[in-house]
Structures are given as structure tokens and as C-alpha cells.
Amino acid sequence: MTPDPAATAPVPPRTPGDDADWWRQAVVYQVYPRSFADSDGDGLGDLRGVTSRIPHLRSLGVDAVWLSPFYPSALADGGYDVDDYRAVDPRLGTLEDFDAMAAALHAAGIRLIVDIVPNHSSNRHAWFREALAAPPGSPARDRYLFRDGGGPDGSLPPSDWQSVFGGPAWTRVTEPDGTPGQWYLHLFAAEQPDLNWDNPEVRQDFLTTLRFWADRGVDGFRVDVAHALAKDLTEPLPSAAEIADAAHGTHPLWDRDEVHAIYTEWREVLDSYTPPRTAVAEAWVHASRRARYAVPGGLGQAFNFDLLQADWDAKQFRTVVTDNLALAAESGASSTWVLSNHDVVRHATRYGLPPGGGRHGQGQDGVDWLLTGGTSPVLDAELGLRRARAATLLMLALPGSAYLYQGEELGLHEVADIPADRRQDPTFFRSGGTEVGRDGCRVPLPWTADGPSFGFGDGPAHLPQPAWFAALAADVQERDPHATLTLYREALAWRRRLQGPEELEWVEGSGEGVLHLRRPGGWQSVTNFGPEPADLPPGILAVASGPLEDGRLPADTTAWLV
Ligand code: GLC
């Protein structure tokens, strides 16, 4: 069995057309722009940097780019604290740079999805400044969630709710006359005041924002914390303990049924374009609630993070796949698959740590390992990468859309030893260092083995890059037929060629720890979760995540047969 040389042949450019269903089985590559490529040497990645690396994305063979926030921001939360939803951070470029990037992506046959952050603005947004300058009860304050404090002098927060990043979810403001005043709600950092989605002006303004970017040719939206917009702040506010076990749909802050009325309005706007603009919800909700976000009359698709939370384990993977295909069918959307993103420890690293023990009783999440500076337990980096490659190849064989996170195509591991004085994630600061946060997966990419910041830019990188990045640089992998980059390219080329209806059939009998699936048209994927080599079914080998052993599939390896 030898790989088919046609798999590495250059992929012809495809200009995105009007196909309304393009997203259903798309491979979407997440660009975290401040860490992707820096065109002006200031240490921060920028939009011209993205444009300069389109050849990389094209040769990788992705269908779309999801661009994390590039809006003006003080970076209190890596750009998820937006000062102005209809502008580009001057450090990242201009609207003209954005248009040029979108045009160049489209010319390369790659669609563009932008991140939209509707739950909260930044505290530097014109509306929040106006709210601070206005008195309690004013229309300006009503765009946010201001409340009087408790206790005789209002010095107690309105409730004991905690922010997702640690610390209280309420911050007290100083009134224009200098006296201590009301409190505002922020589910995340204090620099991210939550918007009041009962306010019609807020609702209208986001429709304007959607149109603003859709008019500029954006193909879709990734909706940040989509499950938090609708809130019930009827007083008296319940305590955190009282709502800890709230039934689905009844929690005052998360996943309320009313949130879907917002997305019905959004869908009308999105559907007014040809082709309709897509949207994918980031909704960390119970699996049984996910379909509501993904229905065609709603956002149309929702992230499923189940694979990302599973251990490297055949049973867990199979259950996740089976359940999510059923859920997707329920909503009418296609499923989404994610192994890494900018919020979690990279999957090459997770799979190199002992399984289990995640924070939420799920698979290994690497969070506690990060707290030890990456020293305990000892990471088996080679095993982790081997499994990550196998997991990716399995994910890419599944019906639905696959989301890749920048750098995973280079086989990057998490960077665990970022010094405290270089950390940026608000999780680190708000938890008083008891959590280190997400900087380790956001370190600027290595494009070349040498040069300042490994080719990220002509200057330094805004987060320190480790010396081991040199060996994983894109230009090094370019010359290596066994490199992870080569594997990703071959897999995406084959996927495009083999893609058919969104159907999957499990093939039984390959033995315990082996997942064998068949897609329409004779595409088969076999993954050996180990530990012993497994026999492969008859077929021609298209691509494998590692070398075969005497025609057998070794442990922690996936092969596609045609
Ligand atoms: C989402 C983003 C995350 C951000 C948070 C608050 O979960 O993915 O990076 O910190 O929302 O906006």
C-alpha cells in the first residue's frame, strides 16, 4: 500500500460561488489574528499578515477562515472586549486592509467568517462611556445591566455571582459626581460589561453590525457566547447557590429560551443575502439544548465541543460521534467538529498527558498540568502528537464541518512555561494566578526556523515563543514528506475529492479499540486507539497519520482507504 501521489498535487483555486450549503461540510481554519502573522514588525499579528499567508491557507486546502476579533480593543480579553464593532483595530490595519484581505481570500477560493461578540462590549465602547457619564435610570445605562448595590449604602454587589474568569461578576462604578455608585454585570472580565438585550437599541445595532460586515462580503459569523444574551434579572436576584442546579432554560444567565427570538431576527438579516450568510453558535450548553441554536430559522449551526472534551479513547469518540450526528439531524444542521481552539490546551498536548481528570469530570483538559508550568505529570510530547494526528484524520473523515485552529497543522504543542510577567489572559489576573489561562495556545506561529520571532514578523512576538518552535516552523515542514503539515494537506485534498452525502456507517468487527467507519462512495477511515497493531480492511491506502507496520495499522494511527 503506497500513498497516491495525486493526493499532493496542487489544488486548483475555486472561487466561492452562490452555493447556499457550502458550510455543511466545510473545513474552517481559525485565525487568531494577533498571533498569526505580523506584517509591520510591531509584535502583534495584523490583517496584512493574514493576507500575506493566504498561499499557506490555499495549499492547506481549507474552505473558509474564521477570523477571531480584529476590532479596536484594549485587549483585556484578547480582543473579545470590543470597543467598536464596525471598525478595525488600528494596530491590525484598516477597513481597506480588511477589504483587501477578504478579496484575496475569495480569489483563493476561501470564504471568510468573522467573530461577533454580542454578549458584552468593552468598557471603552462609546455606549459604556456614555453610560458612566449618565445618571442611574438613564437610557444610556439601560443598554447595559446596571443595578443598585445591596446593604444600607449600596456597597454590596447585587448578587454573589462569580465571573467566568474568576472574581465577582459585578463591578461598582463611580458616579459622575465622584460618589460610589451603581454596579454593572459582567459575566467575563470587568472590562467586558454585559449588554442588555431587552433594549431595542442594542438589538437594532447588532443587526446593523451584521449588515455592515455582510455588505463587505463576509460569508458568515461565529457568535461568541451565544447562549448568554437573554437574561432574567428580576429582583430579588437569586444567589449563586440557588441557581447552581437550575433546570435547562430557567437559569437567569445562561441558555434561556428567549435568546432564540434574537437569533430569529438575525436569521432574517442573514437570509436577505445571496448566498445566505452563515452563523455558528458558540454555546456551551447541554447537548440536548444545542439543536435550538442550530435550526435553520436560528443561527443555523452550533459548535459541539464534545470531541474536544473526550479522552483519546475509542468508546468515548464513538459515542460523541454517534450522538452528535443524531443531534445534528434533529436540528437540520450539519455537525461541527473541533479538537482545538484559542480557549483550550492544544490537542497534541492533551493526548500526551494521562487521560481523565478534566475540570468538569470530562477528558484530560491539561488545565492542572499548565498550573505546574507543564512539568507534572510529565508530557509525552511524541505520543501526544501521534495521537493528535490520528484524531485529526478521524475528525476529517466525519460528516459535517471541521474546525481547525491555527498551528495545529504544524503539530504545535501548548506552550506551558510563559513567565507570569508576560501573561495576558484575564483568567490569570482575575484568579490571582490560581489559573494560568489560555496564552499557551495563542503564542505567535513559527513560519521560519530562524529570524526574529520565527518569521511571525520582523520584530518580537507579543507572547514569548519557545526555542522548540524552530523545528516545527512551516518552512521546515515544507520539505518533509512526513511532517504534520504534509499530512494536513494530503488529508484535506483527499477529503475534498472523497466528500459525499453526510452519512456515516460504523463497520463492526475490527476489534476493541478500533473505530472503522465508512462514508458513501467507498471512503473508509480506520483508527487504532491501541495498543496492538490492527489489521486493515481491503482497500487502497489514501493517507495515514503515521507509517504502517507490515501493512498493519499501528497503535494511535488512523488510515483512510478508498
Ligand atoms: C468566548 C471566547 C473566549 C472569550 C469569551 C468572552 O468563550 O471564545 O475567548 O474569552 O467568549 O468573550
**442-499 pLDDT tens trace:** 999 999 999 999 999 999 999 999 999 999 999 999 989 999 999 999 999 999 999 9
**pLDDT for position 433:** 87
**pLDDT for position 334:** 97
Region for 290 from its dihedrals, namely left if φ exceeds 0, alpha if ψ lies in -120 to 50, beta otherwise: alpha
Q: What cell was used for 42?
A: 510591531
Contact 96, 135 (CB under 8 A): no
pLDDT class of 5 with cuts at 50, 70, 90: very low
Q: Which of 165, 185, 225 to mutate to test the pocket of ligand 1 (most atoms within 8 A of CB)?
A: 225
Q: Which residues line ligand 1 (CB under 6 A)?
A: 77, 80, 117, 188, 224-225, 282, 342-343
As a whole number, mean pLDDT of residues 88-108 equals 98
Give tens-digit pLDDT for 294-345: 999 999 999 999 999 999 999 999 999 999 999 999 999 999 999 999 999 9
pLDDT for 12 beyond 90: no
Pairing relation of β-strands 278-281 and 220-223?
Answer: parallel
pLDDT for 26 beyond 90: yes
Angstrom distances, CA of residue 189 to CA of 138, 142, 164, 517: 24, 20, 8, 43
Question: Hey, what's the torsion of the CAs at 274, 68, 164, 236, to 10 degrees?
Answer: -40
* Residues in CB range of 50: below 8 A, 6 or more apart: 31, 33, 36, 37, 65, 67, 101
- Neighbouring CB atoms inside 10 A of 321's CB total 26
As a whole number, mean pLDDT of residues 55-80 equals 98
Residue nearest to atom 3 of ligand 1 (CA): 343
Report pTM: 0.96
The C-alpha atoms of residue 504 and residue 525 are separated, in whole angstroms, by 10
**pLDDT for position 293:** 98
Strand ranges (E), 327-456: 336-338, 401-405
The C-alpha atoms of residue 207 and residue 26 are separated, in whole angstroms, by 25
Percent of the chain with pLDDT strictly greater than 90: 94
Strand order in the sheet with 146-147: 146-147, 180-185, 170-174
pLDDT for 8 beyond 90: no
pLDDT class of 14 with cuts at 50, 70, 90: low
Q: Which of 75, 164, 188 to mutate to test the pocket of ligand 1 (most atoms within 8 A of CB)?
A: 188
Give 119 Cα–ligand 1 centroid separation in angstroms. 10
Q: Which of 30, 35, 80 to mutate to test the pocket of ligand 1 (most atoms within 8 A of CB)?
A: 80
The C-alpha atoms of residue 308 and residue 360 are separated, in whole angstroms, by 13
Q: What cell was used for 540?
A: 487502497
Give 283 Cα–ligand 1 centroid separation in angstroms. 11
pLDDT class of 3 with cuts at 50, 70, 90: very low
**Which atom, in ligand 1's list, is nearest to the CA of 438?**
9
The C-alpha atoms of residue 272 and residue 28 are separated, in whole angstroms, by 23
Give tens-digit pLDDT for 158-173: 999 999 999 999 999 9
Distance of CA 277 to the CA centre of its chain: 19
What are the backbone dihedrals phi and psi of residue 147, each rounded to the nearest 5 degrees, phi first? -145, 155
Give 340 Cα–ligand 1 centroid separation in angstroms. 14
As a whole number, mean pLDDT of residues 122-142 equals 98
Pairing relation of β-strands 557-561 and 541-544?
Answer: antiparallel
* Secondary structure tally for the chain: helices H, strands E: 15, 15
Percent of the chain with pLDDT strictly greater than 70: 97
Cα atoms found within 13 Å of the Cα of residue 447, Cβ hemisphere only = 23
Give tens-digit pLDDT for 407-417: 999 999 999 99
As a whole number, mean pLDDT of residues 13-23 equals 78
Give 456 Cα–ligand 1 centroid separation in angstroms. 24
Please give the single-letter amino acid code of residue 142: D
**pLDDT for position 382:** 98
pLDDT for 18 beyond 90: no
Q: What cell was used for 148?
A: 443598585
The C-alpha atoms of residue 208 and residue 320 are separated, in whole angstroms, by 37
Q: Which of 67, 117, 186, 224 to mutate to test the pocket of ligand 1 (most atoms within 8 A of CB)?
A: 224
**pLDDT for position 4:** 44
**pLDDT for position 357:** 86
Residue nearest to atom 7 of ligand 1 (CA): 225
